Structure 1
Amino acid sequence: MNTKTTNLFAAAAAVLGAATMSAHAADDLPESQRVRNVVLVHGAFADGSGWRGVYDELTARGYRVSIVQNPLTSLADDVAATRRVLERQNGPTILVGHSRGRHRHNRGRRPPMVAGLVYVSALSPDAGETTAQQYDGYQTPPEFVIDTTGDGFGFIDPDTFKIGFANDTSDADAAFLRDSQVPINMSAFGSKLEHAAWRTKPSWAVIATDDRAFDQRMLHAMAERIGAKVTKVAASHAVFMTQPKVVAEVIEEAAQQASTTAR
C-alpha cells in the first residue's frame, strides 16, 4: 500500500564550486582549448528525455552533449551511471544536474575532466551530508507530495503532480510527465555524499522562481554556500524542460568561462 509523504525528497543536482567572468571571454580561444562537452543528469521522477530542448539548443551551438539515464535505484547506481558517461568524454566537460540529478559525486576528484558544474533547481550537499539533511529548517511546499510504495520507491502524487512539478507546462505535457514517472528508491536520500565537487569546481545555479518542489530559501542558501553564479527564471521545477534556452545559455557561459580559466 502506498503511503503519502509531504517530505519534499525530490532533490538535487549536487556538487559544484565558484567563479565569475565574461561569457564571451573564450570566443578568441583556439578550438582545442575550448570546453565543448556537456553532460546532462536528470533528477528524481523524470528521465533524460526531458533534456531534449537543452540538447537541441547546445548541439546547435556546436557542443557535444551526452545525457545520463539514471536508474534511480541507489546513489551508488546513479554515480556509476554518470561516471560511465563522463568517461566517454573526449575532453573537459561541463556537468549539469537537475533536482536530485546530484552531480553525483565523488565526482569532484575523478575524472579530472569536469571543468565546471551547473545546478538546475538542484540541491548541493557537502561531503558527509545526505540529500534529506538539506531540508532541515525549511518548509516543503504543500503542493509537492510523494507516494511511497511498499518496497520503498517514491512517485509524485498524481493528483498534485502538475502544480508540484510542472505547473508551467500544458495539461497534456504534465499528464505525460505524470504517467511516465521514474520512481526513485527513497533510501537514496539517506546516502551520504563522499566528496563535494563544488569545493574545487566553479559553479553556476539556475533557480526557478515558481519551483514548488523546494523552499526558495533553501535553493538560494545553497547557491550562496557553494559560491555559484545565480540565474533566476520564472519557471516550475521542470525548468530544465520549460526554459531550455535560459538553461542552455547558463551552460554555455560555464563552458566559456571554464575555457578561459584553463588557458
Structure 2
Amino acid sequence: MSTTGQEIKNVVLVHGAFADGSGWRGVHDKLTARGYRVSIVQIPLTSLADDVAATTRVLDRQNGPAILVGHSWGGTVITEAGLHPSVAGLVYVSALAPDAGETTAQQYEGFGPTPDFVIDVGADGYGFLDHDKFKAGFAADTSDAEAAFLRDAQVPINMAVFGTPVKNAAWRDKPSWAVIATEDRAFDQAMLQHMAKRAGATITTVPASHALYLTQSGVVSDVIATAAQNAAGGAR
C-alpha cells in the first residue's frame, strides 16, 4: 500500500522499557483534540519479536497511513516494525535507532556512561530501574509523587532484548523525525544525536528528562503532527 499523497490521520505510539502505554496520555489527548486517530501499543517487553508483533497487531488495525512513534527501547521496536505498509513516517522520542544487523546494545559503544540510570537485573534476566535512582535517571522533571508512581508501576524488560539484532531498519526507507531531551540521563546526548542524524531524522531538542513523552507532551505532539503533515508527500 502506497501512503504517498494520502492525508495521515493515524498515529501509533510505542512505549519504552520500564514503562507502559499510559505515559502517552498527554500526547494522546492533544493529538485526538487535533483530529488524529491515536492508538497506543502495550508491548510486553519480553523479546524484540514479541514487541514487534504487538506493534504490528495494532498497525494492522489502522484505516490508512500512520505515523509510528517510539520512545526509548520503543525506537528499536519501530525500527523493525516500521516496514509495515501502513507506516508513512517514524518519530523517535529520545529513542534508540539501530541499523539492520545491529543490536541495541551496540548503540552504546563509544559513548559516555549514564550513572543515574541504574538497572537491577534479577536471576531471571529481567531488569527494573533502581528504586533510589529512578527519579534522577528516568523522570527528573516530574513531581516526587509522579516519579514515585512511575517507579512503582514500572514494567521490567527482558535484558536479552538488547543483544538481539534488528533485521531491518525502517528509517532507511521512511522519513524520520526525532525529539531529543537535553537532560536525558538514560542515554549520552552524543549517542542520541548520532542515531538521529544517521537516520536522517529532522531533530527537535527540548529541555526534559528521559520521560519527555510525558512531561513534554506538547512538543512531542507538535513533532508528530508535523510528521503527519509532511510524510504524506514524502517530505521531511
- Note the alpha carbon deviations across 1:220-253, whole angstroms, 9 max, x for none: 1111111100000000000000000000000000
> How many pairs does the alignment contain?
230
1:158-177 aligned at under 5 Å gives the runs: 158-177=131-150
Amino acid at match of 1:215: D
1:125/1:131 contact within 8 Å kept:
yes
SS in 2 for 1:118: strand
Match of 2:81 among 107, 125, 137: 107
Instruction: Name which structure has the greater RCO, CA cutoff 8 Å, separation 6+.
Output: 1
Q: Which residue of 2 aligns with 1:135?
A: 108
- Note the alpha carbon deviations across 1:137-166, whole angstroms, 9 max, x for none: 011211110000010000000110000000
1:108/1:200 contact within 8 Å kept:
no
Q: CA RMSD in A?
A: 1.2
Amino acid at match of 1:40: L
SS in 1 for 2:133: helix
1:98/1:240 contact within 8 Å kept:
yes
Match of 1:235 among 198, 208, 220: 208
Amino acid at match of 2:207: A
1:206/1:233 contact within 8 Å kept:
yes
Q: Which residue of 2 aligns with 1:210?
A: 183
- Note the alpha carbon deviations across 1:191-224, whole angstroms, 9 max, x for none: 0100000000000000000000000000011111
Cα distance between partner residues in 2 of 1:81 and 1:224: 28
Q: Which residue of 2 aligns with 1:80?
A: 53
2:82/2:170 contact within 8 Å kept:
yes
SS in 1 for 2:13: strand
Q: Where in structure 2 are there 5+ consecutive unaligned residues?
A: none
Matched, 1:187 2:152: no
Cα distance between partner residues in 2 of 1:206 and 1:104: 15
Q: Where in structure 1 are there 5+ consecutive unaligned residues?
A: 1-28
Q: Which residue of 2 aligns with 1:249?
A: 222
Q: Which residue of 2 aligns with 1:144?
A: 117
User: TM-score, structure 2 length as denominator?
Assistant: 0.95
Q: Which residue of 2 aligns with 1:178?
A: 151
User: TM-score, structure 1 length as denominator?
Assistant: 0.85
What's the offset of the Cα at 1:112? 1.0
1:78/1:104 contact within 8 Å kept:
no
2:51/2:77 contact within 8 Å kept:
no
SS in 1 for 2:94: strand
Superposition misfits of 4+ residues, deviation over 3 angstroms: 103-106
2:55/2:81 contact within 8 Å kept:
no
Going from structure 1 to structure 2, the CA distance change for 1:173 and 1:108 (only over 3 Å counts) comes to closer
Identity %: 70
Cα distance between partner residues in 2 of 1:71 and 1:84: 13
Match of 1:46 among 16, 19, 23: 19
Specify the structure having the higher radius of gyration (Cα).
Answer: 1
Cα distance between partner residues in 1 of 2:150 and 2:82: 31
